[in-house]
Structure 1
């Protein structure tokens, strides 16, 4: 993508988050860090961002305990229900998070994702969404934590703040 498209995405992000300067700075740091990782390490940066997803999942679980939120991760279904309610409801990360759990796959639909400017920016800088999407990376960790199996991103499509994430068990 062109530098003009990158500037357009950045301007849209700033206009939607202008009331929270700390959020702007933290997101900009994460954008720059992820883009720089990709420039230096390419596909090798995937291991680092995967570890980032693990940390996000751990922080989601720890944060829910601190806030006194109900957390049941005893099954994939219950963990996904918690994930959707906690991130979608409590933190309003998305307007809607729905999922369809298969035997060896997970399809997640995210409508109105508030993090889309971050992944739009990465894509505009030629960084694959799969390298930086916090939702996809934390969902991989959720599934691995709850099932004990390894998961990968099979597909990740995003348009106008709506995403479809497909994970597959290895």
Structure 2
């Protein structure tokens, strides 16, 4: 991939994101994740998993402050909560459809607002699974709800629409 093509993602981010501080945060996260991958390769996934844990913690704390229903009694209820909070509070995508079992979850995301970040990672030879905030947060949620470790099995993405598959490890 040429440097011009890599810059197309940054240009799209600047075009689509009117808030300069959000652009600064996104570009900082892009550089940090890319740098971690260059230095540690697959080992950097352990660091970025902590991003997912922080996202899940943010959702729980934020929903507590807003007095939102936090039913995480099983994976399906937890995913309903995760979806309603991320879409309703943070407007991270137009929608998330999902199929949940105790062993896996498949999520279809429409018009993800974080796709410039994950597009940038992929363009720089960093797997999307290392940085996708929706996948990492959901993996942390599933681990807490089920007590079992979950991995990002796959992410297919095009034009801001993604299919994310998480599986019990």
TM superposition score category, shorter chain reference = over 0.9
* Aligned 8 A contact 1:119 1:129 in 2: yes
Residue equivalent to 2:8: 8
Question: Compared with structure 1, are the counterparts of its residues 65 and 103 closer, same or farther at alpha carbon in structure 2 (3 Å cutoff)?
Answer: closer
Deviation of the 1:103 alpha carbon:
4.1
Residue equivalent to 2:113: 114
The reply to whether residue 32 of structure 1 matches residue 31 of structure 2 is yes
* Aligned 8 A contact 2:107 2:165 in 1: yes
Scaled by the length of structure 1, what TM-score is found? 0.96
The reply to whether residue 124 of structure 1 matches residue 123 of structure 2 is yes
Scaled by the length of structure 2, what TM-score is found? 0.97
Give, in whole Å, the separation in 2 of the partners of 1:131 and 1:21: 25
Give, in whole Å, the separation in 1 of the partners of 2:43 and 2:2: 25
Give, in whole Å, the separation in 2 of the partners of 1:6 and 1:66: 39
Q: What is the aligned residue count?
A: 169
Match of 1:108, SS state, is strand
Residue equivalent to 2:161: 162
- Name the Cα RMSD after superposition: 1.0
* Aligned 8 A contact 2:96 2:108 in 1: yes
Give, in whole Å, the separation in 1 of the partners of 2:109 and 2:147: 24
Give, in whole Å, the separation in 2 of the partners of 1:20 and 1:65: 27
Ranges in structure 2 where 5+ consecutive residues have no aligned partner? none
* Aligned 8 A contact 2:92 2:113 in 1: yes
Give, in whole Å, the separation in 1 of the partners of 2:125 and 2:6: 10
Give, in whole Å, the separation in 2 of the partners of 1:83 and 1:149: 18
Give, in whole Å, the separation in 2 of the partners of 1:50 and 1:140: 8
Deviation of the 1:126 alpha carbon:
0.7
